[in-house]
Amino acid sequence: MVAVRVLVELMVGGQWVDITRDVYVREDISISRGRADEGAEVDPGTCSLVLNNRSGRYSPRNPRSPYHGRIGRNTPIRVSVRHGDRLIPRFVGEVAAWPPRWDLSGNDVYTPIEAAGILRRLNASSSPLQSSLVRFVLASGPAAYWPLTDGADTQNAAPLLGGNIAYLNNREGEITMPMRWTGFDLAPHLEPVATLPDKVLRGVFRGYILPGHRPQWWAAEFVRGGVGGFDSFGMQLVGAGTDADPTRMWYLGFEHPTRTLFVSYFRAGDSDARTTVLRQDIAAPQVFEDDTAHVFRLECAPHQGGTSWRVCVDGAQIANGQLNEPARPPLRWVYDWFVPDDDRAAPASLGHVTIWDGTVSPGPEQIMLAYHGHAGETAGQRIIRVCEETGLPVTVLGDPDDTQLVGAQQMTSPLDVLSAAAAADGGILHEDRAEPRLVYRTNRSRYNHGLQLSQEE
């Protein structure tokens, strides 16, 4: 009979370390995994064992321990069985705590540990729920990002990356009126965004981009909802405001009476100021409807000593051109508005102001997929994407493209999103036994593929 040996390892300093000799045999190593009777989903795996801790080796705060500062909460642990020449993994997970215990004599010092698979940490996550758009933007590495989804009780528009708090300056009308946070519902799967103040005829809302987050080739993306008035989204470029180094501004303008857009470029020094209209009367009637919102992108890139620019709406390019002015990094974004007293104009809504480094940014069409909650992607691809955004390693058994189509991704926890995709496909989401990763077995891969006959020559 071939002997069977247990191997217990800890991940210490990026390496698996054999600690089998410190595992007490007086207590069983208990491993639980899989799906409970009549359960709809696979439960997190668990493993309990007891370590000999007379040396203090497994006390994370013990400065004399060789593992001091190297073990702690969520330290990976792995249990395997050696059967002859084969090493069979049985469990991999994370140790949540290292409680010290001792007998009455004080001579027997031990540490009972309970490890759990990666699903436990996902279940216990208290991170705020975020939409597919917010998750995608953050995972794609923007230079700066103001979601403008801070909630009804907020006082400021805090950036998630790369900027300072955006501030409001009302100039005409009831100038003490605040922004109407959560004033515009984009879609059930997206957070509501801010609406400009009511009863304010003119104003400006702006956000400053921090040094180190100002790319030479930049793209400014934002969501705008409602009719608006005579509005413009501007990007002020880095400059001293002198004749030698003038202030420069790019504008994407909105004119509600004609339901058109325009693109202009402004420069001003000590003694001269001028505006160049690069494109006007860009027909876009769909972006001036009361209850609709659209995604806009103004992008500027260096080109042969000048600047190449383009404008996209809802992922499609609607205008582009060249300007014989040097490309400069942005200093801040500015939303100016004037809402005249007529039967049509109304304050616009604004959200998801994002500054991208154009050399590495996702394309406008990718942003639109996230804006629509990635509706229509396969369950397998959703599981892969969400795991990538969350930093979770995952292996898919089967073809992820040969899985069921899913709807818009809802604002739930990553585990709920993964579980919903697995349920839609009828597959199984579980933990790997050998590495701290998830495994998804597609529904189709669970069944036999039939006999395949081959004819020998």
Residue in the structure block whose two tokens are 């009455």: 104
Question: Which pLDDT value is given to residue 41?
Answer: 72
> Which pLDDT does position 133 carry in this prediction?
96
- The residue type of 193 is V
Does residue 451 sit in helix, strand or coil? coil
Residue 38 pLDDT greater than 60, yes or no: no
Element spanning 394, H or E: strand 394-397
Q: Are 208 and 164 in contact (CB under 8 A)?
A: yes
Is the distance from CB of 216 to CB of 356 less than 8 angstroms?
A: no
Say whether pLDDT at 255 is over 80: yes
Over the stretch 102-157, which tens digit does the pLDDT of each residue have?
A: 888 878 899 999 999 988 877 776 566 789 999 999 999 999 999 999 888 887 89
pLDDT band at residue 341, thresholds of 50, 70 and 90? confident
Q: For 4-8, 36-40, 137-141, which range has the lowest pLDDT when averaged over its residues? A: 36-40
- Report the pLDDT value the prediction gives residue 452, as an integer from 0 to 100: 56
Residue type, 80: S
What's residue 2's pLDDT?
Answer: 56
Q: What are phi and psi of 355, to 5 degrees?
A: -105, 120
Query: What does the pLDDT read at residue 306?
Result: 95
Give the pLDDT confidence of 360-404 residue by residue, as tens digits: 999 999 999 999 999 999 999 999 999 998 888 999 999 999 999
Over 50: is that where the pLDDT of 457 sits? no
Q: How does pLDDT run across 58-105, given as a tens digit for each residue?
A: 999 999 999 998 999 889 999 999 888 889 999 999 998 999 998 888
Confidence of residue 237 (pLDDT cuts 50, 70, 90): very high
Residue 225 predicted with pLDDT over 70: yes
Long-range contacts at 251-255 (CB < 8 A, ≥ 24 apart):
252/296, 252/298, 252/311, 254/224, 254/228, 254/229, 254/230, 254/287, 254/288, 254/348, 255/230
Mean pLDDT of 240-258: 94
Which pLDDT score, from 0 to 100, does residue 120 have? 83
Residue 454 has pLDDT above 90, yes or no: no
Contacts of 32 (CB under 8 A, 6+ apart): 43, 45, 46, 47
Which range is least confidently modeled, 27-41, 175-189, 219-233, 273-287? 27-41
Residue 42 has pLDDT above 90, yes or no: no
pLDDT surpassing 50 at residue 39: yes
Q: What's the pLDDT at 44?
A: 84
Residues 163-211: tens digit of each pLDDT: 999 999 988 888 888 899 999 999 999 999 999 998 889 999 999 999 9
pTM for the predicted model, two decimal places = 0.84
Please, are residues 355 and 220 in contact by the beta-carbon 8 Å criterion? Answer: yes
| Structure-model confidence comparison of residues 257 and 436, the more confident one | 257
Most confident of 34-38, 42-46, 84-88, 220-224: 220-224
Q: Residue 287: is its pLDDT beyond 90?
A: yes
Mean pLDDT of the residues in the chain: 91
